[in-house]
Amino acid sequence: MNVNLLELDDVSKHFGGVAATQNVSLAVRPGQRVGLIGPNGAGKSTLVNMISGGLRPSSGTVTFDGQSLRGVPAHRRFALGISRTFQNLEMFLSMTVLENVMVAAEGKTSLAPSLTPRHQRTAHAQALEALELMSIRDYADVPAGELPYGIRKLTELARAFVTQPKLLLLDEPVAGLSDTEEFLEVLGRALDELGCGVLLVEHDMPTVQRLTEYVYVLETGKLIAEGTYAEVSKDPHVIEAYLGKEAEPH
Ligand SMILES: Nc1ncnc2c1ncn2[C@@H]1O[C@H](COP(=O)(O)OP(=O)(O)OP(=O)(O)O)[C@@H](O)[C@H]1O
Ligand SMILES: [Mg+2]
């Protein structure tokens, strides 16, 4: 029996002549929190996109819950339990925080032909719960376009959490935040409560250390190390490729 929630086997992606990822194999077990680190351009976002369905691998297989995702479109992957956040925040700026989170909740249930009033009530209740979880209940009626950056990030997380994913893909959740402490506390608590598998892409090493139990290191498209944070942070290849250098801020 396959015990992995997510499995990548020899996944490569070429953009013209550029090999963005080369023969990458990695796994996330149910409920496991896995970090993915590497310098700018290492192929991290490309990998996330191949898992969420935005990009198709040039070769190799992505397996989720024992099922190959080959040819499975992004919205079906979402329905199967894969949710993600984006490196650049994506939400409806003219809609309120609550509406944005409700849309995400409805997206999950609206695989039924039409949204009944009952579905809408459920989505409303679930959205409020997600706002509570992220400590942003007070911002429910504020248009997303008017939010401070940190609250927008928490709103984006609420949109992902409300779908109760089996796997959450987080692409640089703390990038651009000036005060990460409170944000990380809320995120850590929410992840504990949700108990889903996580693949976290992040440049910020303390965040990786705090939120993940296993780490993969990519450099120019290839995996160069894996292990616990303590293990990979001692690996000379990793130090040379990444930890010794300061990552460029986004
Ligand atoms: N749509 C695309 N078309 C062409 N090349 C691309 C495309 N997306 C990514 N690349 C290239 O693939 C490589 C990996 O990019 P990717 O965005 O996956 O890196 P990353 O590890 O997420 O970097 P960062 O830390 O800067 O976010 C880079 O060389 C990038 O220029
Ligand atoms: Mg990226």
Q: Where exactly does CATH 3.40.50.300 map onto the chain?
A: 1-45+58-81+166-250
User: Bridge partners of 167?
Assistant: 82, 197
Question: Taking CB atoms and a 6 Å cutoff, what residues make up the pocket around ligand 1?
Answer: 15, 18, 20, 38, 40-46, 87
Q: Which CATH superfamily is domain 1-45+58-81+166-250 in?
A: P-loop containing nucleotide triphosphate hydrolases (3.40.50.300)
176 within 8 A of 203, measured Cβ to Cβ: no
SS3 of 243, please?
helix
Which of 46, 49, 56, 58, when mutated, tests ligand 1's pocket best, judged by the most ligand atoms within 8 Å of its CB?
46
DSSP for 45-58?
Answer: HHHHHHHHTSS--S
pLDDT tens profile 178-201: 888 999 999 999 999 999 999 999
Which atom of ligand 1 lies at the shortest distance from residue 203's CA? 25
Spatial distance between the Cα atoms of 77 and 116, rounded to a whole number of angstroms: 23
Q: Whose CA is closest to atom 3 on ligand 1?
A: 15
The whole model's pTM is what?
A: 0.90
* Helix (H), strand (E) counts: the chain: 9, 10
Q: Which ligand has the minimum distance to the alpha carbon of residue 42?
A: 1
Q: Quick one: CA torsion of 71, 62, 103, 110, rounded to 10 degrees?
A: 50
Question: Which structure tokens are listed for 160?
Answer: 């992902």
> Please, what are the averages of pLDDT over each run of 10 residues along the chain (250 residues)?
88 96 98 95 96 97 97 93 76 92 78 64 92 96 94 92 94 87 92 95 90 96 96 90 55
**Residue 90: other Cβ atoms inside 10 A:** 11
Ligand 1: residue whose CA is nearest its atom 26? 40
Decide: 20 and 200 in contact? Cβ < 8 Å: no
- pLDDT tens per residue across span 110-147: 555 556 777 778 889 999 999 999 999 999 999 999 99
How far away, in angstroms, is 207 Cα from ligand 1 center?
22
